[in-house]
Amino acid sequence: MTLPDGYRIIPLDDPTRLDDVLEVDTWAFPVEHGLDELRQLPSPLPWGRMWGIEAVERPAGSLAPANALAGMYGTYDLRAFPVPGGETACSWVTWVGVHPSHRRRGLLRSMIAHHFAEARERGEALSVLNAAEAGIYGRFGYRHAAPTLSLTVPRGAELRPVAGSDALRGEFLTWDPESHGDLVAELHRAAAQVPTGIGRPGWATWETPELRRAQDADPAILHRGKEALRLLVVSDASGRAQGYARFRRAVTWERATVDGTVEIRDLVGLTPAAVHRLWSLLLDLDLTSRATIDMIPVDDPIMHLLIDVRAAEPRLRDLVWVRILDLPAALAARRYAAPVDLVLDVRDELLPENAGRWRVTVTEAFGTASVERVDAGVGGAGGVAGADGAADLVLDIDTLGAAHLGSTSLAALALAGRVEAREPRVLAAAAVAWSWPIAAGADWEF
């Protein structure tokens, strides 16, 4: 990693630097709250995995504090990030920002290079993030790999019936992390395996204390005129919880007419009946006209329960961006939907360790892959490479990352010119192998 002249990178492992971090953060992401209010929030900062950039010397006449940060970034330590059929160690990048006085000097590129080196040294095969601006991170090898939906569902929207839904008991509660936090975290973890038993790639759980603290928090300064967080739990006849939803309501009155919105923060059901019951109850609350929810997977059950999906106004957005840091480790950590034997020719300008030709062999459906580097012009057996030694697929590392969670088809990427295939048969085989029966998705961001 090379820093621009006049800067140095430092560890931010001391919570006493919180004000310095908040100062940069509020410049990077403007908010309506001042530092006094923001200090009251439970800090999600991963101290020990936070890094800052300082100017070695202040310019003559500078009014900035001597130890002011020019930039910063952090990563959450996810040891069990879900990938198709498995889990892998992953860095979830967060709190990235550069002070406007120091922009356009290459500080972000330096921080990304530092992050890549640190993560690879820790054995983290993937780096993932939520991109505040879609145009920033593609140049560093990231690509969105888990699209999600936002819905606005009219009150009383008709749902297709699901057996057993009416037998589940719903209980409305005021959210209390001490009383309800462990149950919600347990149900959220269990949802990674969804009712079918097929894991959902990208369904990151709140592995670290910082993430759990942030997910439990409901500070008044973030209510923005809405009520405190509420909780709905549905349980079976034995009293065992089968799902939950956290939500808050916002109600306005105009000329004696009420208009209310149920803003669903997260909703998890472990069975089809639980999902149906949760939605049925939330769509029948008094003084409300609609329910909204963000960050649901594109194949979320509600999309197949609603009689009139169009009325819910589905809106697609990117959420989880993936960057492969260690190609052989990343490809070996996941499973593949079909057997395949091919050679990838991968381009990676920032991490040359990933660049070159790799033979990927999967011998059975939903099996793991053996991944080995092969010399230029050397293919495998069984039609792995052409007679001229050409690789089966040629692609950039960001394109491979886009397909890594199984929701973005390699064939679709080829239609956009992102994949060069030796022949259609090979492209089709690769697209099937890299796919996954359940869409990737996550329901939180930082």
Amino acid at 322: V
Helix (H/G/I), strand (E/B), else coil: 191: helix
Low-confidence ranges of the chain (pLDDT < 70): 1, 60-61, 63, 66, 375-389
For β-strands 340-347 and 393-396, DSSP reports them as: parallel
Q: Phi/psi of residue 238, each to 5°?
A: -85, -5
Q: Are residues 295 and 351 in the same domain?
A: no
Helix and strand totals (H; E) in the chain = 11, 19
Instruction: Give me the residues paired with residue 356 across strands.
Output: 346
CB 345 within 8 A of CB 357: yes
Q: What is the pLDDT of residue 382?
A: 36
> How much is the pLDDT for 381?
36
74-95 in b/e form (b: 16+ CB < 10 A) is: bbbbbeebbbbbebbbbbbbbb
| pLDDT recorded at residue 378 | 39
228 and 346 in a single domain? The answer is no
**Pair 247, 345 in one domain:** no
pLDDT tens for each residue of 322-380: 999 999 999 999 999 999 999 999 999 999 999 999 999 999 999 999 999 996 543 33
Same domain membership, residue 357 and residue 263: no
Q: Which domain holds residue 110?
A: 7-129
- At residue 377, the pLDDT reads 40
Q: Which pTM was predicted? A: 0.93
pLDDT number for residue 351? 98
Q: pLDDT at position 38, please?
A: 84
> What percent of the chain is helix, strand and coil (3-state, nearest 5)?
25, 35, 40
Residues 74 and 180 occupy one common structural domain:
no
Residues 278, 205 share a domain? yes
Question: What was the pLDDT predicted at 199?
Answer: 92
Report the pLDDT value the prediction gives residue 384, as an integer from 0 to 100.
47
Among residues 300, 258, 256, which one has the least CA distance to residue 278?
Answer: 300
Residue 320's H or E segment, with its range, is strand 315-324
Supply 204's token pair.
Answer: 């990151």
Residues 153 and 253 in one domain: yes
Query: Which of 350, 357, 360 has its CA nearest to residue 403?
Result: 360
Q: Are residues 190 and 311 in the same domain?
A: yes
The 8-class DSSP code of residue 159 comes to B
Q: Please count the residues of the chain.
A: 446
Partners of residue 397 on adjacent β-strands: none
pLDDT at 389: 60
CB 325 within 8 A of CB 119: yes
- What confidence score (pLDDT) does residue 388 get? 53
Angstrom distances, CA of residue 169 to CA of 9, 278, 279, 319 = 54, 10, 13, 33
**Residue 443, in any domain of the structure:** no
pLDDT for 380: 39
Is there a single domain that holds both residue 343 and residue 311? no
Report the number of distinct structural domains present in the chain. Answer: 3
Residues 162 and 250 in one domain: yes
Same domain flag for 45 and 118: yes
Pairing of strands 367-368, 393-396: unpaired
> Which pLDDT belongs to residue 194?
73
